[in-house]
Amino acid sequence: MFPKNAWYVAATPDEIDGKPLGRKVCNERIVFYRGPEGQVAALEDFCPHRGAPLSLGRVCEGKLVCGYHGLEMGCDGKTIAMPGQRVRGFPAVRTYPVVERHGFIWVWPGDASQADPAKIHPLHWAESPEWAYGGGLYHIACDYRLMIDNLMDLTHETYVHANSIGQKEIDEAAPTTRTEGDEVVTSRFMHNIIAPPFWKMALRGNNLPDDQPVDRWQICRFSPPSHVMIEVGVALAGHGGYDAPADKKASSIVVDFITPETETSIWYFWGMARTFQPHDAELTAKIREGQGKIFGEDLEMLERQQKNLLAWPERSLLKLNIDAGGVQSRRIIDRLLAEERGDGMAAAA
């Protein structure tokens, strides 16, 4: 259903400040917390004493203390102490490879021996002061692949986001899709159009007029296991579009980390990174608010879509030219799943 031998975004650092966090990732119940010296740790969310969730406890001097009977756990999954008890024979709980990087907490829910931190998705914008980032988190009751489909085909913007980023010109500009190794890229370019409301706000935020024709682009990049980065922007028409100088455009990267919780639910970490006016905190907040509303509009559609698919599992779905990005992304996922199973499908992919 979903690759487990991969790095997923599990949380943001603020979610584990001063307290443990229980979160299911790829059907694995995990507790995240800060151990000694603030190092992030991830354990099976299961107390070896009575099976209580360790996430209902507290962190004391880098030790995770069960909220049921006070059992103390170490970052290695072994019991350290328990009031009035000898703990030498207590069974250990599973630990998970976990890394704090790029402003996110990453977890590897699969085979720990394969967890190489070098495989964590590179985020150049997260390492540079020339970029600003603002984002959030949604819990959505849908298959993670439905969200990938949604982000790799932005035709829906015309209808779902009609009052923010949607416009009829999206329908009129045919997308192109290509595969580059394990990455799928779907691109769409629109020329000499009027910017929709969200992008008018962004133009003003970069001290540009919002009433002149613009060139607009959307370049969606899928990377396994389930990340989608989308280069988006508008430039005043006649200045080179995507390649226009910085003072003639407002451009960003829409950040989408889609982390499966179960077969029919996800943790959706969304955000936007930009280079224009990166030190304007008010603009960052305004963009974050606008983007949050946009993604909130997707939520109901995806959850209702999931309910329909569960109600009619025997019905096949159409695959149109606009679906190419999602279709190619699913093929890569299927190949990775086959490789994890060790079956012959991987060689045929």
Domain boundaries, the chain: 8-118, 129-341
Instruction: Read off the pLDDT of each residue in 303-327 and give the average, rounded to a whole number.
Output: 94
Q: Give the mean pLDDT of the chain.
A: 95
Give the pLDDT score at 140: 98
Categorise residue 156: left if φ over 0, alpha if ψ from -120 to 50, beta otherwise. alpha
Give the pLDDT score at 85: 86
Give the pLDDT score at 273: 97
- CA 213 – CA 192 distance, rounded (Å): 5
Q: What is the pLDDT of residues 284-303, one digit of tens each?
A: 999 999 999 999 999 999 99
Q: What is the pLDDT of residues 124-167, one digit of tens each?
A: 999 999 999 999 999 999 999 999 999 999 999 999 998 899 99
Residue 33 CA: distances (Å) to CA of 26, 97, 107: 19, 13, 12
Residue 221 near residue 190 (C-beta atoms within 8 A): no
Residue 121 CA: distances (Å) to CA of 116, 327, 330: 11, 22, 18
Count of beta carbons in the 10 Å neighbourhood of residue 173: 16
Q: What is the pLDDT of residues 173-182, one digit of tens each?
A: 999 999 999 9
Same CATH fold assignment for domains 8-118 and 129-341 = no
Give the residue from 137, 164, 120 showing the smallest Cα distance to 8: 120
* Residues facing 214 on adjacent strands: 193, 236
Residue 251 near residue 263 (C-beta atoms within 8 A): no
Asked if residue 346 has pLDDT above 70, the reply is: no
Give the residue from 199, 191, 153, 198 showing the smallest Cα distance to 173: 191
Q: Give 345's pLDDT tier (boundaries 50, 70, 90).
A: very low
Percent of the chain exceeding pLDDT 90 equals 92
Residue 258 near residue 229 (C-beta atoms within 8 A): no
Q: What is the pLDDT of residues 41-74, one digit of tens each?
A: 999 999 999 999 999 999 999 999 999 999 999 9
Percent of the chain exceeding pLDDT 70 equals 98
Give the pLDDT score at 88: 85
- CA 106 – CA 118 distance, rounded (Å): 12
Residue 272 near residue 255 (C-beta atoms within 8 A): yes
Give the pLDDT score at 348: 44
Type of residue found at 257: F
Asked if residue 347 has pLDDT above 70, the reply is: no
Topology (CATH level 3) of domain 129-341: Naphthalene 1,2-dioxygenase Alpha Subunit; Chain A, domain 1 (3.90.380)
Give the pLDDT score at 84: 87
Topology (CATH level 3) of domain 8-118: Rieske Iron-sulfur Protein (2.102.10)
H-state helical runs in the chain:
144-152, 157-160, 168-172, 197-205, 281-311, 324-341, 345-348
Asked if residue 318 has pLDDT above 70, the reply is: yes
What is the DSSP code string of 41-110? EEEES--TTT---GGGSEEETTEEEPTTT--EE-TTS-EEEBTTB--TTPPP--B--EEEETTEEEE--S
Q: What is the pLDDT of residues 241-251, one digit of tens each?
A: 999 999 999 99
Q: Give 272's pLDDT tier (boundaries 50, 70, 90).
A: very high
- How many Cα atoms occupy the beta-carbon half-sphere of 345 within 13 Å? 13
Residue 279 CA: distances (Å) to CA of 47, 132, 136, 254: 45, 7, 19, 18
Q: Give 208's pLDDT tier (boundaries 50, 70, 90).
A: very high
Residues 6+ apart with CB under 8 A from 248: 208, 235, 236, 239, 240
